[in-house]
Amino acid sequence: MSPARAATSCRVCEGTTPVCDDVTGRCDVRCDYVKTCDGDGDGCVATMYLAQDNQTSEMTYVVDTGCWAGSAFNTLQPDDCRADNRFPGMYTCLCGTDECNGEIILPHAGAGGASAPVSGGDIPPDFLRDPPSPPVGSGGSPWPGDGLDDPTLRPGAESNNHFVGSSATASADRAYGPDNTSMLIGIVTILPAVLVLVLLIFAAYVLYRRRHPKNPPSSIFGSEDGNGNYQIKLDDFDSEMAADPSLENTLNHNEEHLPIKLDTSVGKGRFAEVWKGKLFQESEDRFVTVAVKIFRYDEKQSWQREKDVFSDPALKHPNILDFLTAEERGSGIDRQYWLITSYHSNGCLRAYLGRHVLTWEQLCVMSQTTVAGLAYLHADRATDGAAKMPIAHRDVKSSNVLVKSDGTCCLADFGLALNLDPTIRVEEYANSGQVGTPRYMAPEALESRVNLVNLESFKQIDVYALGLVLWEMLARCEVTGDVGPYQPAFADKLSGDHPGIDTMKDVVIRERERPDIPSRWLAHQGLCRMSEIIEDCWDHDGEARITASCAEERINELKKRQFTAITIDSEDDEKEPLRPKTRYIEETDV
């Protein structure tokens, strides 16, 4: 027999949070999605059950709603979705009018009073005395506490229209047919159990992750430094990561944030601020110190540019800052973009020169490694001979060179770096000429007259700035005696600490000035040759400048030599007032 009443449309949602009225026991399922049921004579179903809240981990009621196949209906369905609570902690109802499952009417199951429910059939007496916790609402029980207004809703009452108490099984047989009754009960029973199991597994995973944060591969951790800190093996070029190309970029593509705790701010630039941080492994007792460069939400382009440069596996070199990974954190205006690199406690070259004077040996090591980093950046071949994209740094200066713990240097801050891709059209380089820090900008960059057709022009601009950085190193070398306080290039020719482009045009282009080469440097053959390298780097004509690789070769030759001081008495100091009385001559190969 076809049902006399059926729904053509039902509310269809999963996991909504109901709102219940304490007095009437009616619960709004909070589902706005309506679906037209496919079958003839379909009904609507709603199931309310306990589940764990993902945020609070507390147990609360949620509701699943939908259509139920009408092929098994052989009796009238109620107009309202009146719930059956034969399973503890779960309420299920069927109804036969459009969208009738938008509201669930809970069974009246109070304890005590003249109309108290009577146990019958398979309803446990304990369940009647201690009914399930009410759904989320304004608090209290979803039914009146004393008695029942409608005895037909009492557990154990026989009714064709309401599936409650011990009559639920018999009523279900009449409603769905004996073959489908067990299927409905199985689905209603198993589904909440599966959901609860999934939620419990998820909660256990979250708890485990909080106690044991995800760690980077152990291969990046080296030996302990004696203070409880562990050095990053990326600095060790004989390490596993360096030897195995497949591991070089292991950390560049993390989907989860690394367990990092920011410590102190160590510097701030135009686009970002650099922090010292701790990268934990396994526990808070074992960590490595890292540098975290944080870009604001409006500086994403700068972050992206530097990230793209760092992400090239071929950029791996001992004299280029080691890159671990890039991350996006936060949202909205609080969104931040992180670049995580190795940390060097000596800081930048500019600060280091302000605190230290250099021996001849230190000068050779620091100058050679700085030049080597730039030469590799400009190269079109990697250390293994494979093809590599040449890169122009475009902001070479002493504050963008870091001093490592072993006294060597590495290039950092690639926010203005440019891939010198020969396949890119000249027009795309049109706005790439006048960038950098004015104090270190080459004449052609100051005038915006860079030859964009010849990509070597960008390398020549870097070499000019390199000459100024080498001069700053020489000015703090103690080999010839008196050493003045650190001063950046052109300090004695400028009135301010932050000269603009127009000021530098006057000094560099119109007056053709360069930092002075003191006469005492010429008394030391090593410093004299280093001065020649510097002058070849900052030549006014870009095409006349030497390359970074040429400068590296010449400094390497100087490192092989040692110089001995000799005293020369001048016969007439008045005729040769600038002639030093002490000269350093090349003695032997080291």
CATH number of the domain bearing residue 248? 3.30.200.20
CA atoms of 107 and 171, how far apart (whole Å): 16
How do 34-36 and 26-28 pair as beta strands?
unpaired
* Cα 88–Cα 90–Cα 93 angle in degrees, nearest 5: 130
Does residue 507 sit in helix, strand or coil? helix
- Most confident option among 5-19, 387-401, 410-424: 387-401
- Residue 211 within any structural domain of the chain: no
- Residue 3 within any structural domain of the chain: no
Residue 46 labelled as part of a binding site: no
Identify the weakest region by mean pLDDT among 150-164, 306-320, 465-479, 500-514: 150-164
Give residue 222's pLDDT.
45
Q: Verify that 265 and 380 share a domain, yes or no.
A: no
Identify the weakest region by mean pLDDT among 242-251, 387-396, 538-547: 242-251
Which residues are CB-neighbours of 218 under 8 A, at least 6 positions away?
281
Phi, psi of 360 (to 5 degrees): -60, -40
Residue 274 labelled as part of a binding site: yes
- Residue 422 within any structural domain of the chain: yes
In this model, does residue 486 exceed pLDDT 60? Answer: yes
What sections of 150-230 are H helices per DSSP?
168-176, 178-211
Q: Verify that 580 and 541 share a domain, yes or no.
A: yes
Dihedral in degrees, nearest 10, Cα atoms 448, 454, 459, 460: -60
Of the candidates 342, 375, 392, which is a domain's last residue? Answer: 342
Give residue 583's pLDDT.
58
Q: Answer yes or no: are the C-beta atoms of 98 and 81 closer than 8 Å.
A: no
When comparing pLDDT for 57 and 226, which is higher?
57
In this model, does residue 169 exceed pLDDT 90? Answer: no
Average pLDDT across the chain, whole number: 76
In this model, does residue 523 exceed pLDDT 80? Answer: yes
CA torsion sign for 569, 571, 577, 579 is negative
- Kindly report the pTM of this predicted structure: 0.58
Mean pLDDT of 488-494: 94
Q: Verify that 187 and 149 share a domain, yes or no.
A: yes
Which residues are CB-neighbours of 44 under 8 A, at least 6 positions away?
7, 10, 11, 37, 65, 66, 67, 68, 81, 94, 95, 96, 97, 99, 100, 101
Give residue 582's pLDDT.
57
Catalytic residue among 395, 413, 462, 539: 395
Q: Verify that 180 and 231 share a domain, yes or no.
A: no
Confidence of residue 153 (pLDDT cuts 50, 70, 90): very low
Residue 272 labelled as part of a binding site: yes
Q: Answer yes or no: are the C-beta atoms of 142 and 148 closer than 8 Å.
A: no
- Residue 213 within any structural domain of the chain: no
Give residue 182's pLDDT.
61
Q: What is residue 313's DSSP assignment?
A: G
The residue among 209, 282, 221 whose CA lies nearest residue 251 is 221
Task: Count Cβ atoms below 10 Å from residue 226 Cβ, excluding itself.
Answer: 6
Percent of the chain past pLDDT 90, that is, above it, reads: 39
Give residue 53's pLDDT.
74
Distances (CA, A) of 8 to 12, 40, 67, 79, 500: 13, 8, 9, 13, 76
Give residue 113's pLDDT.
33
Confidence of residue 108 (pLDDT cuts 50, 70, 90): low
Residue 328 labelled as part of a binding site: no
Q: Verify that 306 and 355 share a domain, yes or no.
A: no
Q: Verify that 127 and 244 share a domain, yes or no.
A: no
- Residue 212 within any structural domain of the chain: no
In this model, does residue 537 exceed pLDDT 90? Answer: yes
Q: Verify that 32 and 98 share a domain, yes or no.
A: yes
Identify the weakest region by mean pLDDT among 171-180, 207-216, 339-348: 171-180
In this model, does residue 481 exceed pLDDT 70? Answer: yes
Structure tokens at 582: 């002490």
- Residue 4 within any structural domain of the chain: no
Return contacts of 220-228, CB within 8 angstroms, 24+ apart: 220/250, 220/251, 220/288, 220/324, 221/281, 221/286, 221/288, 228/285
Does residue 16 sit in helix, strand or coil? strand
Percent of the chain past pLDDT 70, that is, above it, reads: 69
Q: Answer yes or no: are the C-beta atoms of 448 and 505 closer than 8 Å.
A: no
Give residue 39's pLDDT.
73
- Residue 401 within any structural domain of the chain: yes
- Most confident option among 133-137, 185-189, 190-194, 374-378: 374-378
Residue 221 labelled as part of a binding site: no
Q: Verify that 334 and 482 share a domain, yes or no.
A: no
Question: In this structure, which amino acid lies at residue 192?
Answer: P
Q: Verify that 385 and 244 share a domain, yes or no.
A: no
CA gyration radius for the chain?
A: 39
pLDDT in tens, 345-367: 999 999 999 999 999 999 999 99
When comparing pLDDT for 290 and 240, which is higher?
290
In this model, does residue 178 exceed pLDDT 80? Answer: no
Of the candidates 323, 342, 361, which is a domain's last residue? Answer: 342
When comparing pLDDT for 79 and 243, which is higher?
79
CA atoms of 413 and 431, how far apart (whole Å): 20
- Residue 428 within any structural domain of the chain: yes
CATH number for 422: 1.10.510.10
CA atoms of 209 and 78, how far apart (whole Å): 49
Confidence of residue 538 (pLDDT cuts 50, 70, 90): very high
pLDDT in tens, 263-319: 999 988 778 999 999 998 776 778 899 999 999 888 898 899 899 999 888 899 999
Give residue 231's pLDDT.
41
Give residue 74's pLDDT.
55
Residue 403 labelled as part of a binding site: no
In this model, does residue 145 exceed pLDDT 50? Answer: no
Give me the DSSP letters along 385-427.
S-B---EE-S---GGGEEEPTTS-EEE---TT-EE--TTS-GG
CA atoms of 585 and 465, how far apart (whole Å): 29
Residue 270 labelled as part of a binding site: yes
Give residue 158's pLDDT.
36
- Most confident option among 90-104, 133-147, 538-552, 563-577: 538-552
Domain of residue 39: give its range. Answer: 9-205
Give residue 412's pLDDT.
94
Give residue 110's pLDDT.
41
Q: Verify that 76 and 194 share a domain, yes or no.
A: yes
In 96-240 the beta strands, taken as DSSP E runs, fall at: 103-105, 221-224, 230-232
Structure tokens at 523: 């008394």
Identify the weakest region by mean pLDDT among 228-237, 331-340, 388-397, 436-445: 228-237
Residue 62 labelled as part of a binding site: no
Give residue 25's pLDDT.
84
Identify the weakest region by mean pLDDT among 22-31, 87-96, 329-338: 87-96
Total number of domains in the chain = 3
Of the candidates 287, 312, 342, which is a domain's last residue? Answer: 342
Give residue 405's pLDDT.
94
Mean pLDDT of 146-164: 34
Q: Verify that 478 and 391 share a domain, yes or no.
A: yes
When comparing pLDDT for 198 and 225, which is higher?
198
Q: Is 395 a catalytic residue?
A: yes
When comparing pLDDT for 425 and 517, which is higher?
517
Q: Verify that 403 and 530 share a domain, yes or no.
A: yes
